[in-house]
Structure 1
Amino acid sequence: MLAAGGAALVFGALPWPAFGDLAGRTIPILTFVVAMSLVTELLDEAGLFQVVTDRLATLGRGSVFRLWLLAIALAAVSTVFLSLDTTAVLVTPVVVLLAVHARIPPLPFALTSIWLANTASLLLPVSNLTNLLAQDKLALSPAAFAGLVWAPAAVSILVPLALLWMAFRKEFKGAYGPQPAHRVRDRRLLIFAAGTVIVLLPALVSGVPVQFPAMAAALFLLVVFLRRRPAALRWSMVPWRPMMLTAGLFMVVEALHAQGLTRILGALSGSGESLGALLQLAALGVGAANAINNLPAYLALEPLAGSPARLAALLIGVNIGPLVTPWASLATLLWHERLQALNVRIRWGGFALAGLLAVALTVPLAVVALWVATGMH
């Protein structure tokens, strides 16, 4: 994909002025993604997520339903404040191993993790790369962004959880026994990691450009690890492949825009801010995300979302919609890799049918919530 983007630039399909504008807009976002990837990897190396696992098992007090509620809280907070990819990569093993150690079926916990990774990624700019692009386009503070999307964000969390409860309510009635605790290898390193999170989370929603606190946190943790556990540092902590894919997608979609993509999609996206128009744009976002991937889907449709309400409707489609096909969201592919490493098998046919039901119910209700909250009724 990166080679395709480079070819588009070299052979003129992507004009240099358009590439300059694209780079100015996306380099800070890609910097944030790399920095946050490093932060979450180093937090995991410090043992923070193992400690969280132990605390959740203790707080569950033997109730599977209470344990599920705690898994929901962890996945939602991780997605909202640290991004959907963090939830897919680091929260998934936590909640799945909780289930495995408790000798309860891991599927409800695994599905909770990936559904919330996508559907809870609407509230803050840092929750999803698409949100950061939308925030940049609208020039909104994190608080103003949340003020625009809070109602559909609430719906997008509650409706999938209601579906999961109805599907697995028998499993949630069970009990589990005491859980083995993990040994902390370096308590001081763990304290540094926890302190970093405590400082970083409010900084990410303070209104300061998010790449700066993320870079500061990554640099601080790197220095700490160089002093206390340098052997843990490895180049694979940097997400090279996702970054090359993302940069290539940015360039290819921008080249397609330069060749008339906006005009072609304009006939399908509708116009205006009526409920029907918002539903039409969100549905197009759902279809495009599941056909190609939510990031190029957002980039392709962004020029057609000419107002805050329409942009929010597009985000509903491309953020909540990727629950059907495995490639609709990078988070889903990362989640599946983690499940394979844990020897948990997923049937994609069942995954797609369950996701289709969740999307068919959640997206229209979220759009209605947006329409009502923005005063368009």
Structure 2
Amino acid sequence: MAWIGGALVLAGATALVTGVLPAADAAATFDRAWPVLLFVVAITVVAQLAAEAGVFEVVAARLGVLARGRVFGLWLLTVLLAVVCTAFLSLDTTAVLLTPVVLALARVAGVAPAPFALTTVWLANTASLLLPVSNLTNLLALDRMNVRGAAGFVSLLGLPAVCATAATVGVLWLLHRRELRGRFRASPVPYVGDQTLFRICSSILLLLIPLLVVMPAPWVPACLAALALTATFALRRPEALQFGLIPWSLLLFAGGLFLVVGAVEASGLLDPIGRLSEHGTASVWAFAGAGAVGANLVNNLPGFLLLEPATTSPITLAALLIGVNAGPLVTPWASLATLLWHQRLVDDGVEFGWRRYVFVGAVAAPAIVAAATLTLSATS
């Protein structure tokens, strides 16, 4: 991703120097991008440090106790944890930090890891429709939706998001209903060495979650939480504060992508896409379908950035979000979260072939996108 990001930055800089991307358009792109990228950095630091303090492991172990030895109950609680983590801490956090925790929980319980692994990555994508902070695409769309913060976003996409999440859970259950039967022996909650650090991190997370919903600029509470956690770790565990906490590759990739898409938009190459908005209600389905196809062809973020200029209303923009958020379940590169998830599986020694992933995703993605789009059409 760093190499691709570097190439994108070079291409964007070339477009700026040659005049393909006017300076005014580049400045407008920067004004739009910096709050989003700052949020990504802050929430990544928060999630990494919270994991370092043992917060996710303790939560997962407590869910195992709450399941009372039932595999189906453990799976339902995993669904709940994946949805909450995705909604408030973003899909990439779920893919990177929750996946190994869920796999460890399945291993200790002695149950098949495949249903829990697929549940994590699918919900990391489809549940990212729930809140603006759940996905980078949502944050990018928020300023064009003409809605007031998270409340306005939820009023428009809340029901489709719930529908997409419910449809995902339903498909997952149909696929793995036999493996989710039976009982297991719950493992004890792991001991956390630095209880003070654990309590401080847990308190900051609990305070951050509602602030991300109610504050109009989510980067503000995310940055405050990141600074508070950094200061806490500087006092109690300074060795955890490493250069790698910052997602440099993602920043380079996203920054270069903003520049390149800005250049493409300024050149007029995207003008024909505007015809998608000329067909009334059908355009909602057109944007949802185009978003899903685009995400699986070139990745959800560039797919969104390329199609977004053609949207003409909050409804068509919401339909595009459904496509690029709930649709990237087929190809491995459809979302960064999927690639990060698979790398975690490899690191953990869990085999999950891409052929199987593509097959089940090709069946599930159209149904999930259609269910959410139908809800959007009916409620709008």
TM-score scaled to structure 1, two decimals?
0.96
Q: Which residue of 2 aligns with 1:158?
A: 166
Post-superposition offset of 1:307: 0.4
Is the contact between residue 273 and residue 310 of structure 1 (CA under 8 Å) also seen in structure 2?
no
Find 1:65's aligned residue among 72, 92, 97.
72
Find 2:211's aligned residue among 196, 203, 226.
203
In structure 2, what is the Cα distance between the partners aligned to 1:251 and 1:99? 42
Residue-pair matches, total: 372
Matched, 1:355 2:378: no
Alignment-mate amino acid for residue 319 of structure 2: A
Alignment-mate amino acid for residue 174 of structure 1: G
Find 1:3's aligned residue among 10, 26, 47.
10
Deviations 1:31-87 (A, max 9, x none): 000000000000011110111122011111110000000000000011111111111
Matched, 1:306 2:312: yes
Matched, 1:77 2:77: no
In structure 2, what is the Cα distance between the partners aligned to 1:184 and 1:363? 41
Q: Which residue of 1 aligns with 2:175?
A: 167
Post-superposition offset of 1:219: 0.3
Post-superposition offset of 1:139: 4.1
Alignment-mate amino acid for residue 144 of structure 2: K
Alignment-mate amino acid for residue 301 of structure 1: L
Matched, 1:187 2:187: no
In structure 1, what is the Cα distance between the partners aligned to 2:231 and 2:146? 33
Higher mean displacement: 229-238 or 254-263: 254-263
The 5 A counterparts of 1:1-377 are 1-140=8-147, 141-267=149-275, 269-274=276-281, 276-374=282-380
Higher mean displacement: 3-12 or 103-112: 3-12
Post-superposition offset of 1:11: 2.2
Is the contact between residue 54 and residue 182 of structure 1 (CA under 8 Å) also seen in structure 2?
yes
In structure 1, what is the Cα distance between the partners aligned to 2:92 and 2:316? 25
In structure 1, what is the Cα distance between the partners aligned to 2:18 and 2:67? 59
Secondary structure of the 1:343 match is coil
In structure 2, what is the Cα distance between the partners aligned to 1:20 and 1:336? 36
Is the contact between residue 35 and residue 214 of structure 1 (CA under 8 Å) also seen in structure 2?
yes
In structure 2, what is the Cα distance between the partners aligned to 1:51 and 1:289? 34
Gaps of 5+ in 1: none
In structure 1, what is the Cα distance between the partners aligned to 2:278 and 2:120? 35
In structure 2, what is the Cα distance between the partners aligned to 1:195 and 1:179? 25
Post-superposition offset of 1:270: 4.2
Is the contact between residue 49 and residue 94 of structure 1 (CA under 8 Å) also seen in structure 2?
yes
In structure 2, what is the Cα distance between the partners aligned to 1:50 and 1:4? 42
Post-superposition offset of 1:4: 2.0
Deviations 1:165-211 (A, max 9, x none): 11111111121113144220100000000100111011101133111
Is the contact between residue 330 and residue 357 of structure 2 (CA under 8 Å) also seen in structure 1?
yes
Identity of aligned residues (%): 46
Higher mean displacement: 86-95 or 111-120: 86-95
Post-superposition offset of 1:364: 1.4
TM-score scaled to structure 2, two decimals?
0.96
Is the contact between residue 124 and residue 142 of structure 1 (CA under 8 Å) also seen in structure 2?
yes
Is the contact between residue 266 and residue 304 of structure 1 (CA under 8 Å) also seen in structure 2?
yes
Q: Which residue of 1 aligns with 2:3?
A: none
Deviations 1:135-161 (A, max 9, x none): 112242110110001121111101111
Post-superposition offset of 1:261: 2.4
In structure 1, what is the Cα distance between the partners aligned to 2:155 and 2:358? 32
Is the contact between residue 118 and residue 322 of structure 1 (CA under 8 Å) also seen in structure 2?
yes
